Chain A
Amino acid sequence: MRIGTTLRWLVFGIAAFVMNFPVLATLITALKAPGEVSRNPSLWIEEPTFANFATVLTISDRLNVYHYLWNSTVAALIGAVLPVIVAFPIAWAMARRGVGRALLFPLVVNLRALPLIIFAIPLYLMYAAAGLLDTRLGLGLILAIVNLPLALMLLVNAVAEIPLELEEAARMDGARTPRLLWRIVLPLCRPALITTFVFGFITAWNEFLFGLMLTTQRAVPMTVGASFFFATSGGGVQWGVAAAVMIVAALPPLALGLVMYRRIAGSMVAGAVKG
């Protein structure tokens, strides 16, 4: 048994190290002084310094990391919550009554396979007309579309997991559909809703192309803002600062994921079983 346990720890250690290696290396690079980065590629830092993080976290003429973080947070929240609201009612109808199973479901799910960037121009024109350009709401709306396929899949499966008897019992008590959904189905779907939200938030946070195309100044998200930090006066890539900004950009979703990971687990399997 002991050998078995040690072996398992070893496997865990290797897996954790190998998979997280780029993140570790980036963190280490972020703690190296600028001159050292090009001189010393090893994982051992000769003179650790927080200078790169200081650069990132200071508000300068053009670079305001807090502005980008806030924009990302708001847009990602919209992009994560909206799909849940929009998809939940029909998810129930699809699971229980087969509404839209043949056409709507595959259509939405397949949006995931499409590089949505092809809609950049019409979206841009639409947004310009509606005054949504360079707004957090505008960005949030398109992020919601990006998250819709997974949301629908997870919610349909979550509803299918709920034993029919519970609903039938409620029906017999005279509950009509809205009450049924609100009182019975929604609470039972909580794990799935949380998972959808967390995955949606992370995906929305990590979106780059739409963040680039649909914002200019006021609503620039962190992914785009991060690239502002990449250049130096020489026009080259200052890896130390770039590494620091990548770490800072990754922190919010990381925090969310690490806090919520227990809850996430619950509904993923629910989604799987009733594929």
Chain B
Amino acid sequence: MNLRTLLGCTAAAAFAAVAAQAEVTVLGWPGGPEETALRAVTEIYNAQPGLAEENRVELLFTSRDGFFDKLQVDLAAGSTAFDVNLIATYSIGRYAPFMEPITLSDQAGTVFGDTVLSTMQFGGAQYGVPTDLSLHFLYFRQDLIDALMADPAAVTLYGDIAEQYLGERLAPKAPGEWTWQDFAANALYFSQSVNPASPTRYGTVIQMKNLLFNMMVFHSWPRSYGANWMDADGNITIDSPAYRTALEMAKMLYDAGATPPDSTSYEYAEANAAFSSGQVAAMIQWNAAASELMAAQPTTGTFAPPAGPEGRFTHIHGLGLGLNAAAENKDGAIAFLQWMSTEEAALAYARAGGAPGLATATAAQLAAERPDLVQVGEYASTYGFVMNGGTSENALSVYEAQAKEFTGYWAGTQDLDTAMANITAAMTDLLQ
């Protein structure tokens, strides 16, 4: 290799390096429909005529395991490896100090609706464009419930069981009308440890692993009884009859064998495997599992979680993309984020497999291809809630503490009063 070639190569390499730095790098959520959808919309964006070379979007995906840990370290150290990064409602508070608020396009309000936009807000500022909405469905085996309701003897047995365990004689209903009492009765009836003739081994699966995400799955339950993390004055109100009722009901189901005994180590993957095997009658699970569960058990139906005395609620949080304060190409990044909040981008994202929370009118446009999005959008605006304090800086740590104390109670390693005392102390520390 002669000198000229060497110089040429060096120059080319240097140029390539410079060019690479002048792109907009977007760090997305790896390995799921979110990635597929993001790739699809990025292609559309990059194909726009008149897009400057240095504003082309490059995608970056890291490991799913420990994603948020790594993001935390990267942001705290002022990494310039990406301009735009993924954020989630429950962690905006933690990352906000390292990010910059942005203004979205004019269409954003119409496309997403206020509730969904608020999932990307913190301290009154908009930190990102919402890309995917997560909430919970009640998944149930329609065939089993139909069979139950058609059999008078079974209905009697169902009533007996309800009376014995819940103190109230109940009759099977359509899941769309369920209260948590109905949910519990159904879970007990379909468990072989309570009803040896049950067609399934377990009536439900409650994800009880010491994991913060399981607390999100759980807390629609106490919320429907009126619970909240804090009241309007900022007092910690976790030790409440609402939370206690819900926790005790879950424990009762665990002790009765209505959920697998290994539930204390179950999270998303295990619960889905259980339901997919056909041995579970109903469960609360993230909406993202819909395609997997329906593929495995085609008679699966979905609805919003059961209602309590204070109404029907589902936890919602969003995934979205926001601006890294240390970004090198801020203008390009902002342009991309604004484009992502337009109707064109949102529809393309949805068509490519993403699950954005869309306002009813927007979602209606996709009714044929993505009926589940209509459902998601509807539930989000009608039943969606965020706990008071759920987007604060230490929200994640609150979930962590709850996970530890509540799973300890469920597993029998401590009693409810101890758990409540501990969590109140922890949350006071974290939220006040």
Contact = CB atoms under 8 A, between A and B. Distances in A.
Answer yes or no: A and B touching, Cβ < 8 Å: yes
Interface residues of A, number: 29
B292 A228 contact: no
29 contacts: A61-B39, A124-B74, A124-B77, A125-B77, A128-B77, A128-B79, A134-B81, A212-B62, A212-B63, A212-B69, A217-B60, A217-B62, A220-B63, A224-B63, A225-B63, A227-B64, A228-B61, A228-B64, A231-B30, A232-B31, A233-B32, A233-B291, A234-B32, A234-B289, A235-B32, A235-B33, A235-B286, A235-B289, A236-B269
Contacts of B77: 121, 124-125, 128
B64 A231 contact: yes
A230 B61 CA distance: 14
Interface string B300-321: 0000000000000000000000
Given A212-B65, A213-B73, 19 more contacts: A38-B277, A39-B277, A61-B39, A133-B81, A134-B81, A209-B66, A212-B70, A217-B62, A217-B81, A220-B62, A220-B63, A227-B65, A228-B64, A230-B64, A233-B33, A233-B36, A233-B353, A234-B292, A236-B268
Nearest to A234: B292
Contacts of A176: none
A106 B268 CA distance: 44
A25 interface: no
Contacts, number: 88
A135 to B, nearest CB: 13
A262 interface: no
Contacts of B31: 228, 230-232, 235
Contacts of B76: 121
A213 B35 CA distance: 21
A62 B33 contact: no
Contacts of B62: 212, 216-217, 220, 224
A236 B30 contact: no
Interface in A184-243: 209, 212-213, 216-217, 220, 224-225, 227-228, 230-237
Given A125-B77, A233-B353, A236-B272, A228 B289 contact: no
A120 B77 CA distance: 11
B276 interface: yes
Nearest to A225: B63
3 closest pairs, A vs B, by CB? A231-B31, A234-B292, A235-B32
B102 to A, nearest CB: 23
Interface of B: 30-33, 35-36, 39, 60-66, 69-70, 73-74, 76-79, 81, 268-269, 272-273, 276-277, 286, 288-289, 291-292, 296, 353
A39 B296 CA distance: 9
Contacts of B296: 38
A72 B25 CA distance: 25
Interface in A85-125: 120-121, 124-125
Given A233-B33, A233-B353, A124 B292 contact: no
Chain B CB within 10 Å, residue with most, of A61, A235, A237: A235
A236 B39 CA distance: 19
Contacts of B353: 233
Contacts of A236: 268-269, 272, 289, 292
Contacts of B272: 236
Contacts of A217: 60, 62, 81
Contact of A234 (B35, B39, B78, B291): B291
Contacts of A62: 30, 35, 61
A232 B30 CA distance: 10
B355 to A, nearest CB: 10
Contacts of B269: 236-237
A212 B286 CA distance: 27
Interface string A11-39: 00000000000000000000000000011
A227 B64 CA distance: 7
A264 to B, nearest CB: 31
A169 B276 CA distance: 74
A231 B74 CA distance: 23
Interface in A221-275: 224-225, 227-228, 230-237
A209 B63 CA distance: 11
Contacts of A234: 32-33, 288-289, 291-292
Nearest to A128: B77
